[in-house]
């Protein structure tokens, strides 16, 4: 079963959330941002080149122009490969664990997996971020020594930064699976 909903991020941009219900114990959430738009790409390129031409007319050194070309190309490559995340996926399987995948615009993917034994809970939290106070979803990890303590907080959907309504949607589904997992683990 697959379902797609549209939400917005904290800046007002559009986000698409895809749920995939594989079974009662396995769900996938996929948040995708819009791809790099031609408009912003053109705007950035034009600004860099105009600045370069401005400098060129001042000091008349053609090195500046070639440097500008290199800067735009390298900047674009770096941005697509290391910064721009197109899609963030959260796969949660109750007997196994939680897997988080972020796919960069260049196609690079980075994946983290947390096994269920380490997960204490999934919660929505509040933080002060860049002159804003935002809600975010995070996973609490158990302390290996003291199971009631929390050793680490892992934030989810770090680049998409969806708004609260979207977080609640994901939070509910996660809680259902966590509750299901607790039921099965306590009464085998």
Partner 1 sequence: MAYRGGDGPGQPLSATFPRVSPGGLSTFRTRTHNICMVSDFFYPNMGGVESHIYQLSQCLIERGHKVIIITHAYGTRKGVRYLTNGLKVYYLPLKVMYNQSTATTLFHSLPLLRYIFVRERVTIIHSHSSFSAMAHDALFHAKTMGLQTVFTDHSLFGFADVSSVLTNKLLTVSLCDTNHIICVSYTSKENTVLRAALNPEIVSVIPNAVDPTDFTPDPFRRHDSVITIVVVSRLVYRKGTDLLSGIIPELCQKYPNLNFLIGGEGPKRIILEEVRERYQLHDRKIRVRLLGALEHKDVRNVLVQGHIFLNTSLTEAFCMAIVEAASCGLQVVSTKVGGIPEVLPENLIILCEPSVKSLCEGLERAIFRLKSGALPAPENIHNVVKTFYTWRNVAERTEKVYDRVSLEAVLPMEKRLDRLISHCGPITGYIFALLAVLNFLFLIFLKWMTPDSVIDVAIDGTGPRGAWTHHQYSHNKRGGDNNEISKTR
Interface residues toward partner 1, by CB under 8 A = 8, 10-12, 120-121, 123-128, 131-135, 138, 140, 149-150, 153, 163-164, 168, 171-172, 175, 179
**Tokens (6 digits) for 187:** 């009464």
Residue 71 or 150: the one with the smaller Cβ distance to partner 1 is 150
Q: In this complex, which beta carbon is closest to partner 1, that of residue 33 or of residue 68?
A: 33
- Please say whether the beta carbons of 48 and 72 come within 8 A: yes
Cβ neighbors of 40 (< 8 A, separation 6 or more) are none
Q: How far is the CB of 77 from partner 1 (least distance, A)?
A: 29
Shortest Cβ 185–partner 1 spacing (Å): 14
Residue 24 or 132 having the CB closest to partner 1 = 132
**What is the rounded distance in angstroms from the CA atom of residue 84 to the CA atom of residue 159?**
8
Nearer to partner 1, 36 or 140 (CB): 140
Q: How far is the CB of 123 from partner 1 (least distance, A)?
A: 5
**Rounded distance between C-alpha atoms, residue 72 and residue 76, angstroms:** 6
Q: At its nearest, how many Å lie between partner 1 and the CB of residue 56?
A: 33
Q: How many residues does the chain have?
A: 188
What letter does residue 117 receive in the DSSP assignment? G
For the bound state, the minimum distance from the C-beta of residue 152 to partner 1, rounded and expressed in Å, comes to: 9
- Considering beta carbons, is residue 101 or 118 the nearer one to partner 1? 118
Quote the CA–CA distance of 170 and 17 in Å, as a whole number: 9
C-beta atoms surrounding 129 within 10 Å: 11
């Amino acid at each position: 079963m697959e379902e797609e909903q549209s939400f917005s991020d904290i800046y007002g941009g559009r986000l698409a959330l895809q749920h995939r219900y594989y079974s009662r114990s396995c769900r996938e959430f996929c948040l995708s941002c819009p791809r790099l738009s031609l408009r912003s790409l053109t705007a950035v390129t034009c600004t860099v080149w105009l600045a370069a031409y401005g400098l060129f007319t001042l000091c008349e050194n053609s090195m500046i122009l070639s440097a500008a070309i290199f800067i735009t190309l390298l900047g674009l490559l770096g941005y697509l490969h290391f910064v721009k995340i197109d899609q963030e996926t959260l796969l949660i399987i109750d007997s196994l664990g939680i897997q988080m995948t972020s796919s960069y615009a260049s196609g690079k993917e980075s994946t983290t997996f947390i096994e269920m034994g380490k997960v204490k809970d999934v919660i929505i939290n509040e933080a002060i971020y860049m002159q804003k106070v935002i809600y975010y979803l995070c996973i609490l990890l158990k302390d290996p020594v003291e199971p009631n303590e929390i050793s680490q907080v892992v934030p989810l959907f770090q680049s998409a930064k969806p708004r609260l309504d979207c977080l609640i949607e994901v939070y509910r589904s996660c809680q259902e699976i966590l509750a299901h997992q607790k039921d099965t683990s306590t009464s085998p």
